Chain A
């Protein structure tokens, strides 16, 4: 397995947002994390990427513990993410946004930037080439030099994905990649996700659009009130009584 959460809990004051959650993500799959509002899905993402610390449990990536590390270190190990409210560098151009993501390619430290060593220039050139190729593949090639804050919603979503991919991550964690998109744009995005899977990138996503999740995901984990109530293939999930109860509620007998 690529990612493993074992008995992960997170408490906010009196609220147990995530309770004793264990789940695994297999490499080369698209894994969906679903659940009603307030189920703790975004909290799980924040825990995996180190944005907030765990209260208990541990998270392993490629069998090495990543819980407790800084978000930047977790990214360096190969886990990148997008945010629910699309987070971009709004004043920068599209290409500059991707270049921040591609910085792992760049020479670290002050001295190379100051003296413009040959290796610095070479690595910057590579980063830019890779950034451009990435933008092309996500349909952003034409807007590469536009300011990110002025892009339409669909392009901002795609750019956020491009930034995460630019880090070279093996696992990308997407918080509602389809939210606010038209039916056609959703189809395009799910196409992109399938292509990523073919290229060997593992995807973990939170999404509300049940139809899209069931269509694109290989495995699904269902959360409710911070507790994992089901897991399995989309087909298994759709017929699981606990899931149906969480989403639709169950009529009291005789009511």
Chain B
């Protein structure tokens, strides 16, 4: 019904498919390895979708992973040092990431394009080095922050096993998916795409583009922080390199391969690439070479991402069929 996505998937159907798939997985397998991969997919999905929220306004935020780290360290410290409950720090950690995003975004969003890319990249290195080199007693320095407990009991449920943690991540992910998909299919998503196409025109039509971008930056950082908190208590160990350039590049690759033009792009990209990453595990650090090659091929042959391929194929098919029906090939309007 929304004007912005005439041809695309209905939001309700898309959300339902994701929720059903996430809910059905434990019926298919309870193998701890597969649950681990599935949990990672859902965690990556919250990251790529919140990253794409910002890309939808045309900004490539290379510090997105840092806000995941800020949420992760904030929650880990509040739980291990102050004994707070995970169920409180889950939201507080995300809130800390969002609050820090306000001043950082206010500075970074003064510029755009390559300058924005560089300034956010510089910030992400500052954050990584901060976690690595400062307050070693607090952040654990190069050896990392260890001994982070799993989430405590909630409403009589325990969260020690892989399955319970999978369910927790699934619920968080579905909340994020519902929120971001609904926003994308609203006037908010329409405005974001307009800003990407011609930001000055949007501004002269009465939208404060700076404030709009800052809103997406802060909201995206909140979601990244949320994923970070889960990550901290799921892995139980944090290293500064978890939030460095390499995972950030993977985040970009996952999102771009799926396609940034559609809210469903990150879903496709994340599922395929997380599985690919598992299959390529033996390559260790060389995996990023493979991903780099895949990224280049995608940019060359499907610049709008994998999610745009069915539409492109349909258009091609329609054109071929149209040619068959009209052998003269006269370009009559349909």
Given A87-B200, A114-B182, A101 contacting B6 (CB threshold 8 A): no
The answer to whether A167 and B206 touch across the interface, beta carbons within 8 angstroms, is yes
**Complex Cα spacing A253 to B200, Å:** 49
Judge if A29 is at the interface, Cβ distance under 8 Å: no
Judge if B281 is at the interface, Cβ distance under 8 Å: no
Judge if B208 is at the interface, Cβ distance under 8 Å: yes
**Complex Cα spacing A73 to B204, Å:** 8
Scoring A92, A163, A167 by chain B CB atoms within 10 A of each residue's CB, the highest score goes to A92
Which A96-149 residues have a C-beta within 8 angstroms of B?
96, 99-101, 103-104, 106, 110, 113-114, 116, 124, 128, 145
Judge if B43 is at the interface, Cβ distance under 8 Å: no
The answer to whether A114 and B194 touch across the interface, beta carbons within 8 angstroms, is no
Give the size of the chain B interface in residues (CB under 8 angstroms). Answer: 28
Judge if A76 is at the interface, Cβ distance under 8 Å: yes
The answer to whether A75 and B188 touch across the interface, beta carbons within 8 angstroms, is no
Closest 4 CB pairs of A and B: A113-B186, A75-B206, A72-B208, A113-B188
Give the size of the chain A interface in residues (CB under 8 angstroms). Answer: 37
B residues in contact (CB < 8 Å) with A: 3-4, 6, 179, 182-183, 186-188, 190-191, 193-194, 197-198, 200-210, 215, 219
Contacts of B202 in A (CB 8 A): 100
State which of B6, B187, B205, B208 has its C-beta within 8 Å of the C-beta of A145: B6
Contacts of A166 in B (CB 8 A): 205
The answer to whether A92 and B193 touch across the interface, beta carbons within 8 angstroms, is yes
Given A92-B193, A110-B188, A72 contacting B198 (CB threshold 8 A): no
State which of B4, B179, B205 has its C-beta within 8 Å of the C-beta of A96: B4
State which of B6, B194, B206 has its C-beta within 8 Å of the C-beta of A89: B194
Contacts of A92 in B (CB 8 A): 190, 193-194, 197
Contacts of B203 in A (CB 8 A): 70-72, 75
Contacts of B215 in A (CB 8 A): 110
**Complex Cα spacing A75 to B203, Å:** 8
Residue of A nearest to B182 (CB): A114
Contacts of A114 in B (CB 8 A): 179, 182-183, 186
Residue of B nearest to A74 (CB): B204
Known A80-B205, A95-B3, A100-B194; 6 more pairs at CB < 8 Å: A70-B210, A72-B205, A76-B206, A92-B190, A101-B206, A103-B205
Shortest CB distance B193–A (Å):
7
The answer to whether A91 and B193 touch across the interface, beta carbons within 8 angstroms, is yes
